[in-house]
Structure formats: C-alpha cells, structure tokens
Structure 1
Amino acid sequence: MTKSNGGFTRRGVLGAFAATLVTAAPTYTNAAGFLRGSGDIRRIRMMSGRTGERIDMIYWVEGDYIKDAVSEVNRFMRDWRTNQVKTIDLRTVDILAAAHNLMDVNEPYMLLSGYRSPQTNAMLRARSRGVAKNSLHMVGQAADIRLNSRSVGQIARAAGACNGGGVGRYSKSNFVHMDCGPVRAWGR
C-alpha cells in the first residue's frame, strides 16, 4: 500500500479509527450481501447488563478483521461468571451485526450470554431444560441477545434472513439465540 504524504497508510489510519467508538455506520440492504463481504465496514454494538460494559466498534474494514477489535469482542463476550475468555467465532459476530443492520436500529444488543464455560453450561443446564448439553456457547459460536425496541419475532426474522446459522426464539424469556452452526430455527 502506498503511503500518504504524512507517512501513514490508509489501513493504519482505518485501524486506529476502528479501535475507538464510532457514531455512524452504513445500513446494509440485505444480510446475504453483508455476509459475502459487501460494504466497507462491519460494526458491532452490545451492552452487558451483568458487567455494565459496552462495546460499539468497527471490527472489520475492507475485507479484514481488526485484531484489536476482535480481541475486545472476545473479552466482552466472555463467561462473566468465571471471567474466562474464549475466541468467539467471527461468523457469529457477523450474523449479529448483519441482523442488527437489517433491523435498522441504533440501540445496542443486550448480551445475555456469549461464551459459556463447561461449568457454567452445566449449572444452567441443571436449572433449565432449554440449555443444550453440547451448547455452541461452549465453543464460542453462539450468543443470546435482546433489544428493547424489537420483539423476539422481529429479531429472529432478521437473524433468519442472514441464513448463517441457528436461530432460537425464547419469547417467554424475551431473548433470541443466534449461532453459526447448521441453519435451523426453533422456538416461538
């Protein structure tokens, strides 16, 4: 890449910009195009009611994931009960971002569960029939989220339009499960 007069590369400037909070991002017209790489940036906005943390960042620019941003996503989506961090499958992050863009909403996702350690998954499984023994949460391939401004049905339809993995509706508990596993849907 050629350098500008100031000695900075375009990618270097974009990488530095991506590590900070941003206030604008494009709206994509369809998730399939988004997941194939259309557009120049991908952005993720989430908050955690458990830890009080928030992220709002560009994590992908012009075909490349930004290492520092991806590390921050991994830390944010950690098992908050054990503080264990796992590498989150970026296909799941892409599905989250694409579904968010399809809903044309600025509100960040409320992350209920990202990575789950085997110990946390076993504890939750003992409390609820809805927790899978071999949950994709344990390998960093799933997230449970909600939005106050959208219904479970609206979020699930947006996630399903991405055609990138599993989508579970948990209407009674007011959240949607998204993962990058086999394409499937369940729940009401």
Structure 2
Amino acid sequence: MTVNSSTGMTRRALLGAFAATAITAAPTFANAAGFLRGGGDIRRIKMYSGRTGEKIDMIYWIEGKYIPDAVKELNYFMRDWRTDGVKSIDLRTIDIMTAAHNLMDVNEPYMLLSGYRSPQTNAMLRSRSRGVAKNSLHMKGQAADLRLASRSVHQMAKAAQACRAGGVGRYSGSNFVHMDCGVVRSWGG
C-alpha cells in the first residue's frame, strides 16, 4: 500500500476522494455500453474474496473512461490466488458483472470464487472436476465465478443473461454463476 508522506493518505483513499467528487459532478446523460442499462456515467464494482480475505469497492469507470489505477487494482484482486499470478482482466467481463449487479438491485458485494486462473491452476482444477474447460476463459482473464448470499443462482444467471454480452453458466450444486465476455451462450442448471 502506497502512502503519500506529505498527506498521510493512501492511493486508495485518494482514489476514493476523487471518485466521490466525480459522482457529484457527473452529468445525467447515459454514455455507457448498451448492456450496462442504467449504468450512467459511473461504473462501480463491489467484491470480496473468501480465499484471500480481501475486499474491493471501487469506481473503475467515469464518463467513458476506465480509471487506470482502479483497473490495476482489479487485476490484482482477481489474480490467481494459488500462484499469485496476475493478468489483465478483460474489462468487458467487469462491465457484465457490474451490469448484472445493477439489474439485481443489490448492495451486497459479489463473492469472487475465481477470476484469472493460471494454466497450472486450470489443469489442477480440471483434473478434479469435469466442469472445468480445457481452454477456460479464466486463463485469458475473461471470466469470473461469482456468488451472492441474497440472490439465487437462477436470479444471478437471469440478470447476467439479460445483458446479452457473454457466457453465463449456472452451477446450482456449487452455488455460483460463471460470467464471461466470450460468445453469448448459457449452460448449467
């Protein structure tokens, strides 16, 4: 964590202060991608990781532009926690996650089960489960497996499918939904 010695503020605190100012100053017209209905000019993502104990609640996009420091922090947060490998997460996936979250009208953060996966992690998981794809989009930083305590797998999948922007997998037995920015498709039950 970087701390500015002259102010005693962390980079995250400065980003938060900037974001709060930007929210107040944001215009009312919508400039977001079509599938981010009602997303307006600000995009915010809230997640926590049960694996690492880390939490993230940040604005990552303002008035048509991604915030580089926020994107960097998202990439690190969604890293392969088994290998500590970091990959640039495809921001279309983050946008789909955000849009689905907005459609569900919840305040609860997503629990991130899996973001980026190294080839080694993917191979290990594949050896333990038939449900892991050999060429998983997780290895490209284009997928996330998510859970919400306040919404069912069905409700989460329905919201993600309404975005019509990528793949949506229902894993009811494991209580999570896969969202990716690949070809529009759905599977699972």
TM-score, length basis structure 1: 0.83
Deviations along 1:75-94, one digit per CA (max 9) or x if unpaired, are 00000000000000000000
Identity %: 81
Match of 2:115 in 1: 114
Report the Cα distance in structure 2 between the residues aligned to 1:126 and 1:35, rounded to whole angstroms. 36
Which residue matches 1:140? 141
- Mapped to 2, the partners of 1:80 and 1:156 lie a distance apart of 25
* Equivalence for 1:176: 177
State how far apart, in whole Å, the 1-side matches of 2:127 and 2:143 are.
Answer: 19
CA distance in 2, matches of 1:41, 1:63: 8
> Within 2, Cα distance between the matches of 1:19 and 1:81?
34
Structure 1, unaligned runs of 5 or more: 1-12, 23-30
**Within 2, Cα distance between the matches of 1:105 and 1:62?**
23
Structure 2: runs of 5+ lacking an equivalent:
1-13, 24-31
Structure 1 residue 141, shift from structure 2 partner: 0.1
Q: 1:187: which partner in 2?
A: 188
* Aligned twin of 1:62: 63
Q: Number of residues paired by the alignment?
A: 167
Is the CA contact (8 Å cut-off) linking 1:165 and 1:181 kept in structure 2? yes
Which digits, 9 at most, give the CA deviation of each residue in 1:53-108, with x for residues without a partner? 00000000000000000000000000000000000000000000000000000000
Question: Partner of 1:17 in structure 2?
Answer: 18
Residue 106 (structure 2) pairs with residue 105 (structure 1): yes
> Where in structure 1 do 4 or more consecutive aligned residues deviate above 6 Å?
none
Letter in 2 for 1:58: I
Mapped to 1, the partners of 2:62 and 2:16 lie a distance apart of 8
1:17 deviates by 1.8
Alpha carbons of structure 1 residues 106 and 43: separation in structure 2 relative to 1, 3 Å:
same
In the TM superposition, what whole-angstrom CA distance separates every residue of 1:13-42 from its partner, at most 9, and x where no partner exists?
98852399x9xxxxxxxx974538951100
CA spacing shift, 1:76–1:38, aligned 2, 3 Å? closer
Instruction: Give the CA RMSD over aligned residues.
Output: 2.3
Scaled by the length of structure 2, what TM-score is found? 0.83
Q: Distance in 2 between matches of 1:34 and 1:69?
A: 21
Q: Is the 8 A contact 1:37 1:63 kept in 2?
A: no
- How far apart in 2 are the matches of 1:32 and 1:41? 11
The one-letter code matched in structure 1 to 2:64 is G
Q: Does 1:90 align with 2:91?
A: yes
